[in-house]
Amino acid sequence: MTQLVLGQVLNGAIIGAMYGIIALGITLTFGITGIVNFALGEFMMIGAYATYALAERAHLPYAVAVVPACFISAAAGYLSNKAFFRFTRNNLVNGLLVSIGLISIFESAALLLWTATPLEMSYVLPGAIRLGDVGLPKMKLVVFGVIVVVIVGTYVALARTWLGRAAFAYAQNPEAAQLMGVHTPRLETAVMLYSTGLAGLGGALYASLYSLEPAMGGVYVLKGMEAAILGGIGSLMGSLWGGVILGIIEAVGSIFLPTAFRDAYGLAVLVAILLFRPSGLFGSE
């Protein structure tokens, strides 16, 4: 039993990291630009399918395919921002509707291009590490490592550099930031590019573990949102912690209670946190 629990704690943490990278995208976008990008799951999907195309059709090695895939997602994000999202700044409901529209468009485009048949990439790093009875797939560990590095790296980059301070100044007071010399439209574009690129990276990593479907993004944006809120919107490390905690709660909850209610465990904790500490575990209000 303890082996089972331990195995699931580790597994939950890894799955949670995946939620975390989407959560980071959400927290950055919403925290800095005030735009609600509920379609972030679609950019994840673009990154996943782009990786698939480059690795399977163009026969690039996986690690090489991931990089252009992120750029493709970022490019899609750039276009979406330029055309639509930047008009929804601080308008939750408009942003939501634009997101719903984009989700419809991207998902249908993926269906047209790839059909609903699930696509599986050739395995990148098959095999698992054994800890007693527990088998932990090697690729999952790699994915976890990459995500942690990326999130911590983002945190360090933003907390310690001028760019980061500018970003948060902008979040606080756009006019003042502009007066202080921060080039605001460029900042907004940069945030959109980076967050959708992150989602694309999440998708590329997802592709190495699971089969791809056009509808894959839907679940992740919801979980990402949960994780972002749990960790505290605006807190970068919070998005990683929120994701990991969410993943662990779901995994461990499913051991002792019915698996059918897996989503509910995370939701219940989320509601509790929101009621008693709305700024999330690591956020500051």
Radius of gyration of the chain (CA): 19
Residues contacting 8, CB < 8 A, separation 6+: 248, 251, 252, 254, 255
Q: Does 134 bind another protein (CB under 8 A)?
A: yes
Instruction: Give the nearer residue to another protein in terms of CB position, either 67 or 146.
Output: 146
* Rounded Cα distance, 266 and 248, in Å: 9
* Beta carbon of residue 275, minimum distance to another protein (angstroms, whole number): 5
**DSSP E strand boundaries for the chain:** 128-131, 134-137
Tell me the residue ranges of DSSP E strands in 2-157.
128-131, 134-137
Q: Which is nearer to another protein, 165 or 262 (CB)?
A: 262
Judged by CB under 8 A, the residue of 59, 117, 132, 186 near another protein is 117
Among 58, 63, 79, 92, binds another protein (CB under 8 A): 92
Q: Does 258 bind another protein (CB under 8 A)?
A: yes
Tokens 């209000």 appear where? 285
Asked whether position 149 contacts another protein by CB under 8 A, the answer is no
**DSSP per position, 108-163:** HHHHHHH-SS-B-PPPSS--EEEETTEEEEHHHHHHHHHHHHHHHHHHHHHHHSHH
Decide if residue 8 touches another protein (CB under 8 A): yes
Q: For another protein, which residue of 11, 27, 73, 235 counts as binding (CB under 8 A)? A: 11
Contacting another protein within 33-52 (CB under 8 A) = 36
| Candidate list 32, 232, 270, 282; residue touching another protein; CB under 8 A | 270
Spatial CB neighbours of 147, under 8 Å, sequence gap ≥ 6: 17, 18, 20, 21, 202, 205, 240
Residue ranges in contact with another protein by CB under 8 A: 4, 7-8, 11-12, 15, 36, 84, 87, 91-94, 96-98, 100-105, 107-109, 111-112, 115-118, 120, 123, 126-128, 130, 133-135, 137, 210-211, 213, 215-216, 218-219, 222, 225-226, 229, 251, 254-255, 258-264, 267-268, 270-271, 274-276, 278
